[in-house]
Structure 1
């Protein structure tokens, strides 16, 4: 039953492998099939070369007849060997093409996958296992297993025809030895993937440490707080756990190789003894046939071992192929929505309504937001405030449709936002995230978000964000790379400069809705005030959301939504909330007292 299940699984893996080759590079499939034919012919040419050579020597054939036969076999072997090497070379070239395309497919899938899915540890595991088809060269191993399997099946059919001429029992003995070797290999392969899966989280942590060591921001923190020793200690602990897992793999391999060597020595003894008996005692075999049958037994042993071994490897490695397909088959919000989506309203003004919205992060029991309801009128300026963990970022993610409500719904102009195409919906927003990221591309690339450049719009964004002075001081201006990844002359921006560049990106897009999550956290008070004054003018006829800890920056907002422990505590204007003397007034006065004391 298990064999049948594995057989059908391998057939499925083989089908998927062929589909991948056909989709990504058809020539690879062509070269592989030709190589199978060339590779399968080599054992027979070698075997008959020895047999014919010895037979002619035993018969005392003339040298002029001997040489053409031997050279003919050698030439045939050389031609097929060269053809095999050439086809192998072409396969390697095209395998690189397939690997690049597989990586591109994975990268594209990762970019298209929902933000909420990326928060899920299980999805992260799927992504990392899928990448092993490239990182660990699993696809090449799967293809090579298929190549070797088919080649050896062809060889095996021919060898059975040859060995059937001597004795049925020699086949049985050889097959029994191969089965023992295969059973050991099967046991070894059974645990290899399990160990690999166990090591995967540890390897992810190792990569995190590598990323720490290559990040300017982390290096500053490490040196300032003298974290080197403790980081090395934690890294060593992880490496120690990885080494334990690798030790298990090595011990399994060592035991398997020892048993295989013992069984192969046993086969040598049986083959030499039996064939020697036929030549020396029963006189039923010539020396030429002795050499041919001995060669055939070794090739039979190799062919059966390879067939069973590659069958097991196809099953083990095929799971990595399955990991790739499982990840690529993950359904995103866009996939689930289908084609029945509304067109966005043709309007310059947008209203929002949160209707009893609750949200819980994947695999979490507690809600990050609970029963949140409010309405935002077109062109309204809204501040969202609260202490850390109150739910401000979660509310922003829901608004941006990075995550979907666990309960309730969010309406845009009276329509559930899930009825719109998520990409088109998100295009309504210009956003500065609290944890904004700049790419190691040029300043221009970062401002335009890799879109077509509108020079006048970019200049306006640079001026309004307050980054003009910095860019003008650079030799390459907006064409200067950020960091040193692409160019040693790249610029390392300060925190304030980086934030102004992120603001410039939002201004360049100029969408009808702005979401600004702590947009001035890294700016000095003068620049912060200047930016807020500019934002007030820029967003005059736009719906705008400000997420902030600095309550002094909420004065110019129409209303303030105050969050506490994932629920709405208060809603109103600054003056209304101060007059009610509630939670907002308490937070505001707590911040204000520091300024009073300083004064």
Structure 2
């Protein structure tokens, strides 16, 4: 527990230093705001009330009292003006500056960490927590820090002032301390347990609420009885929330009652009774002292409440800052900005030498030995899970092998400048993603292409992938926005059309190595044949590597690697592999039989 407190304190100081680097003025203004806030409470109760009452009792002139009140009003008016200036101008402009600089840091870091981080659920959870409202939460952390710091100092002064007036009255201050630090904490623990038990029910409610307004589910809801099932689940979830609420309601109400009584009632009523007795019965306290103690009681209570809130919030914010700090201070295994040797543009060979790879201690590739020579065509084939896509990820240095090495022109790829090395590749991934941008932007993906050449390159790429006519039928051609995320007139293409856009990316990029990962998975056989024919023609001057589960598309490759369970089981040309009558030949013949059977069914369907 003590270690957590120390770490939370360190994280708060880290947030302070981070914001200071980004925007020092917000630190200064927030600190001054908190200082003035607590100063106002102490000044009013400890000085203002004491002076006015003593002045009246001592027969001070009306003009002297009014001058003091006027000065006090001027001070508080200036403080109010300052707070308005901070809230109306300083904070909004500073928040914008912090937002810009902090997210630049976060985005830069997220682009620099290796792909493995995004596939590691623990790291990814912390990453998303660090990114969510990071700018507002880090400002809140700084504000809370100063609330904690000046609240602690103000609490000490409040004790001292009350002790000076009446040393026994200090005992009453322990009541709100017990209320805030004990009963409020117990109530917070109950709320945590309640929210924890409600979480599964709330997730179900959120899920159904989301389904009801997403277009992806609209057809099924209208064509089936799934709505009744969702309604039943929703009702069960609401009932579950109600049951959890009933379970904790008595405990929560009980501790909340004690919190209110100790924090407000006991100190207010108790101190008033104590002061009245001293003033009216024992006559050991003056009316001025009673007024000051009463005023100090109110100030001290709110100072302690503010201080307690800051303590609670600082631990809560400390956890968020810990996620932020962990992410920003993470040392990348494969940093995107790694600087090394220039690989040049000539590809003589790429070689996998004894490569092994394990993901979370589960072997994926074993003793892999493959060589790709420049300006030749290679195919990777095999069943799902054979390790084909993992080879591409290793080749692009999304991961590094756990065993062996990968060589480019005889040199370990780890020695090359990572950005320049990756610039050698144009890739079309199977698990493609489309951006809510124009068709042209989705093809070029931000490549630095001269404006006069851009349209020509995009057009050629779309023609090669077989989607040019479809794109030109759209309202604005290659400038049409894809998806309707931000544009109601945006285009929503079919799966096969989207895949062709993705393939166009590899055609558009000027580089020596082209990689196609299942480029035809969403295409019919005729479109697939045309696409592979275009790939082979357009990439004859490139080193070409493609993955395909349809063996009919690899017949023209210079060399085929068949993988099974992370190992190369067979390799050679299509003819050589067919002549072996091994795994490759068996797969090819079965696919051919299935294709002929499907074709026969289609023909019978036409004549039926």
Q: TM-score of the superposition, structure 1-length normalised?
A: 0.87
Out of 337, 347, 355, the residue aligned to residue 353 of structure 2 is: 355
1:414 aligns with 2:413: no
- Partner Cα distance (2:315, 2:341) in 1: 45
Contact 1:368–1:391 at 8 Å: present in 2 too? yes
Greater CA deviation, 483-492 or 210-219? 210-219
Structure 2 vs 1, CA of residues 92 and 531 (structure 1 numbering), >3 Å: closer, same or farther?
Answer: same
Match of 2:159 in 1: 160
**Unpaired runs of 5+ in structure 2?**
601-608
1:73-112 aligned within 5 A: 73-90=72-89, 92-93=91-92, 94-99=94-99, 101-112=101-112
User: Partners in 1 of 2:150 and 2:247 — Cα distance?
Assistant: 32
Alpha-carbon deviations, 1:138-171, whole Å to 9, x = none? 4344233223223323433443342222332321
Deviates further, 219-228 or 174-183: 219-228
Question: Quick one: which of 27, 30, 38 aligns to 2:28?
Answer: 30
1:439 pairs with one of 415, 419, 435: 435
> Are the counterparts in 2 of residues 21 and 29 from structure 1 also a CA contact under 8 Å?
yes
Partner of 1:279: 279
**Residues 490-529 of structure 1 mapped to structure 2, 5 A cutoff:** 490-529=490-529
Corresponding position of 1:16? 14
Give the structure 2 partner of residue 259 of structure 1.
258
Equivalences for residues 5-404 of structure 1 within 5 A? 5=3, 8-47=6-45, 48-56=47-55, 66-90=65-89, 92-93=91-92, 94-99=94-99, 101-132=101-132, 134=134, 138-175=137-174, 177-187=176-186, 256-263=255-262, 264-335=264-335, 341-344=340-343, 346-362=344-360, 365-404=361-400
Deviates more, 1:198-207 or 1:480-489: 198-207
- How far, CA to CA, are the matches of 2:428 and 2:214 in structure 1? 22
Does the residue aligned with 2:306 lie in a helix, a strand or coil?
helix
What's the CA shift for 1:548?
Answer: 0.6
Once the two structures are TM-superposed, the CA of residue 279 in structure 1 deviates from its matched residue by 1.6
Give yes or no for contact 1:46–1:77 (8 Å, CA) kept in 2: no
Separation in structure 2 between the aligned mates of residue 479 and residue 531 of structure 1, nearest angstrom? 23
Q: 1:208 to 1:40 in 2, by over 3 A?
A: same
Query: What is residue 536 of structure 1 aligned with on the other side?
Result: 536
CA offset at residue 186 of structure 1? 4.1
1:475 is paired with a residue of what secondary structure?
A: coil
Per-residue Cα deviation, 1:199-221 (whole angstroms, up to 9, x for no partner) = 99999998888887777666667
Query: Within 1, Cα distance between the matches of 2:336 and 2:467?
Result: 42
Structure 1 counterpart SS, 2:585? helix
For 1:579, the equivalent position in structure 2 comes to 579
- Which moved further from structure 2: 516-525 or 306-315? 306-315
Deviation at 1:248, TM superposition (A): 9.1
Alpha-carbon distance, 1:302 to partner: 2.9
Q: Aligned with 2:267: secondary structure?
A: helix
| Conservation of the 8 A alpha-carbon contact between 2:338 and 2:417 | no
Partner Cα separation in structure 2 for residue 129 and residue 195 of structure 1: 22
CA distance in 2, matches of 1:128, 1:328: 12
CA–CA distance in 2 between the matches of 1:9 and 1:316? 12
1:452 and 2:448 matched: yes
Structure 2 Cα separation of the partners of residues 257 and 573 of structure 1: 78
> Size of the alignment, in residue pairs?
592
Q: What is residue 565 of structure 2 aligned with on the other side?
A: 565
How far apart, in 1, do the equivalents of 2:392 and 2:198 lie?
A: 36
Q: Could you tell me how far apart the structure 1 residues matched to 2:199 and 2:358 are?
A: 27
**Partners of 2:206 and 2:395 in 1: how far apart?**
33
CA-atom RMSD in angstroms: 3.5
Determine the C-alpha separation between the residues in 2 that align with 1:106 and 1:202: 33
Deviation of the 1:562 alpha carbon: 0.8
- 8 Å Cα contact 2:351/2:406 also seen in 1: yes
Q: Which moved more, 1:199-208 or 1:281-290?
A: 199-208
Per-residue deviation, 1:403: 2.1
Q: How many Å apart are 1:512 and its aligned residue?
A: 1.0
1:260-302 CA distances to partner (integer Å, 9 max, x unpaired)? 2111312123311222123213334332331122111232233
Which consecutive residues of structure 1, in runs of 5 or more, have no partner in the other structure? none
**CA spacing shift, 1:226–1:472, aligned 2, 3 Å:** farther
Q: CA deviation at 1:416?
A: 1.8
2:605 corresponding residue in structure 1: none
Q: Name which of structure 1's ranges 210-219 and 479-488 shifts more when overlaid on structure 2.
A: 210-219
TM-score under structure 2 length normalisation: 0.86
Over 3 Å counting, the alpha-carbon distance change for 1:248 and 1:351 in structure 2 is farther
Q: Secondary structure at the match of 2:375?
A: coil
SS at structure 2 position matched to 1:541: coil
Contact in 1 for aligned 2:513/2:543 (Cα 8 Å): yes
Are 1:186 and 1:309, in contact at CA under 8 Å, matched by a contact in 2? no
Shift of 1:233: 6.6
Give the stretch that moved more between structures: 168-177 or 14-23.
168-177
In 2 relative to 1, CA 232–19 (structure 1 residues): closer, same or farther, beyond 3 Å? Answer: farther
Question: Is the CA contact (8 Å cut-off) linking 2:461 and 2:508 kept in structure 1?
Answer: yes
Is 1:358–1:369's contact at 8 Å kept on the other side of the alignment? Answer: yes
| Distance of aligned partners of 1:112 and 1:451 in 2 relative to their CA distance in 1, 3 Å threshold | same
